Amino acid sequence: MCGISGIINKNNESVSRFEIEVMNNLITHRGPDSGAVFFGNCFALGNRRLKIIDLSDGANQPMSYLGKYTITYNGEIYNYLEIRDSLKKNDYNFSTSSDTEVILAAYDHYGVDCVTKFNGMWAFALYDKEKNLIFCSRDRFGVKPFYYSDNIDKFIFGSEIKQLSGSQNKLKVNEQVLIDYLVAGYEDHNNGTFYRNIHKLEQSHNLIYNLQNNTYSIKKYYDILIDKNVSNLKEADSVSLYKSALYDSIKLRLRSDVKVGTCLSGGLDSSAVATIASSLHRQNSLNRFTSITAKSTEVEFDESRYAETVSNHSNLDWNVIIPSANDFLQNIDKIISVQEEPFGSPSVFMQYKVFEKAKELGCTVMLDGQGGDETLLGYGRYYPAYLLSQNISGRISNFFNSSKNSGLSKKNLFFYLFYFTIPSVRLVRLRNKFSFIHNDYFELLSYDVIKESSKSYKNIINLQRLELMKLQLPHLLKYEDRNSMHHSIESRLPFIDYKLVELALSIENSFKIKDGWTKFILRKSVEDILPNDITWRRNKIGFNAPEKTWTRLIDDQMKNSIMRSEILNRITKKNELIKKFGELDLRTRWRLFNIAKWEELFNVRIN
């Protein structure tokens, strides 16, 4: 796990050492173990390394191979041992035991198609001397970031936005992304960022930069595949297949030359990962597997009792942190700076504190449960798609079962059916809720994305694809990457192993939600290894922050920041916003405040 940096001078002049090293040193937290740069004729590649696999200096980057390839790489290829064995049969030799060298050899053998062989997470730039190009790639689901900016005289890229911001005369807000975030909660639904002229290479895409003529092309290399044979399996066979694949995914992600632990909220996903990882860990170690829980001070959001149950059941080395209101108050500026862009809610700070604790405990690698909800229909808003997939009688009976086994009231479930499936209903509600936004700015809202989302509810697999690749998972992965890497921690996510994702989506839809139970296939897969009150929980919380308590304490600060904001002054009718502020829900008030603080901390302008 590392951080990458790159500068290409379009005028064919050499890149100055000072310029690339400044850029590289901005991400020392991503790779505290070593840092180096490589210079080509008109470009430079930088790398900061966090040692995970092969702790020797021989595995440092940028790494060269066969005298014609050089790579800067961030991530882990979990199946590197299997790929290396295959390449050895084709007469490839290796001087390290790192996955980085495997990528280089795989590129030599397979060309750009090498990425289709990888099971893992990655963002890399690979210089091919003979073809005079730089091959860049980002993993299938975008676990690892890759940002770039194409300027008049330079093409630059890196793992974090701060590396690119210095190339801009002024940091200006991307107004459409801002409105999508504020109104609809969309953040990472396209290749834009909150900053104009700073883009991200989208997940499942390669970028090839031609150094001869300074042009580049971007091409998608992966789509989630559906296996019709799996779709036809009976329930028992589906459960068996999914359980086996989940174990395989977790086992792969335990490959490490440093200590591995896990995040444990007490929810189904993290409990499954913690329990399976602990059982696999015990096969090779006498030490208990480490888990970390963030406990909320608001009882309604406190899952620690469930985490304790799992910990006792699985004999975990359980560690609990209780982020206080004072912690939050003292770290608001820091967490916004770490995230670099506005984010969804204060709960991001709970995750931040978990990774802070991981660093204290020496857990350089942490497992987490991101992706379980998107792959197995775990959110309440997925019920409309499930109900619409039924016949008339099935819709009626499952409507009541869904309310009974989800914790959603019948009123809320009925509301979901209309709100998420009829885009015009959603738009009217959003217009009313955000009436304080000037019309010309509200019109920037990506209504096409709202329509695409509503249409996807008619087909569960399409809905899952959209949630995984555009609407839900991408911003969760961004939060996870920033929080973990700020503390020099590598986060690994078993539920989004691409083979497990394809299997989950291929499984018969009635096994994903059954009799109103979300993630039914996962519940059945782990019911023999988890306590019953964990497996068949109805409520869903996660690492939720005590938002009511925290935001109440900063209410005056929030209002003052919002009033001072040049951006919000431009896009809103300030008097109406002030009048309506107290009526807004907590998340909307947070978004407004987050925009204002982000603008202040990064000196972002609207024109």
Q: How do residues 45-58 score in pLDDT, each as one tens digit?
A: 999 999 999 999 99
Q: How confident is the model at residue 166 (pLDDT cuts 50, 70, 90)?
A: confident
What CATH code is carried by the domain that includes residue 71? Answer: 3.60.20.10
Stated as kind and residue range, the H or E segment containing 22 is: helix 17-25
Q: Do residues 65 and 205 both lie within one domain?
A: yes
Q: Do residues 536 and 582 both lie within one domain?
A: no
Q: Do residues 101 and 38 both lie within one domain?
A: yes
Q: Do residues 12 and 83 both lie within one domain?
A: yes
Task: Please identify which of the residues 2, 114, 136, 363 carries the catalytic annotation.
Answer: 2
Is 178 a domain residue? no
Quick one: pLDDT at residue 543? 64
Range of the domain at 576: 548-602
Q: How confident is the model at residue 361 (pLDDT cuts 50, 70, 90)?
A: very high
Q: What is the mean pLDDT of residues 78-103?
A: 98
The tally of domains found in the chain comes to 3
Q: Is-catalytic flag, 2?
A: yes
- Can you give the pTM of this predicted structure? 0.96
Quick one: pLDDT at residue 607? 86
Reported as a single tens digit per residue, the pLDDT across 517-567 is 999 999 999 999 999 999 998 777 666 788 889 988 898 999 999 999 999
Is 412 a domain residue? no
Is 444 a domain residue? no
Residue 399: pLDDT over 80? no
Q: Do residues 575 and 477 both lie within one domain?
A: no
Residue 393: pLDDT over 90? no
Is 439 a domain residue? no
Residue 395: pLDDT over 90? no
Is 214 a domain residue? yes
Lowest mean pLDDT among 149-163, 367-381, 412-426: 412-426
Is 410 a domain residue? no
Q: Do residues 11 and 134 both lie within one domain?
A: yes
Mean pLDDT of the chain: 95
Q: How confident is the model at residue 180 (pLDDT cuts 50, 70, 90)?
A: very high
| Bridge partners, residue 172, by sequence | 605
Give the C-alpha separation, 255 to 188, whole Å. 30
Q: Do residues 116 and 211 both lie within one domain?
A: yes
Is 407 a domain residue? no
- Output the DSSP codes for 226-267: --HHHHT--HHHHHHHHHHHHHHHHHHTT--SS-EEEE--SS
Is 467 a domain residue? yes
Give the C-alpha separation, 347 to 343, whole Å. 10
Q: Do residues 364 and 469 both lie within one domain?
A: yes
Residue 483: pLDDT over 90? yes
The residue type of 450 is I
Under 8 Å between Cβ of 68 and 91: no
What CATH code is carried by the domain that includes residue 262? Answer: 3.40.50.620
Half-sphere exposure of residue 308: CA atoms within 13 angstroms, side-chain side: 7
Q: Which residue has the higher pLDDT, 493 or 399?
A: 493
| Bridge partners, residue 69, by sequence | 65, 128
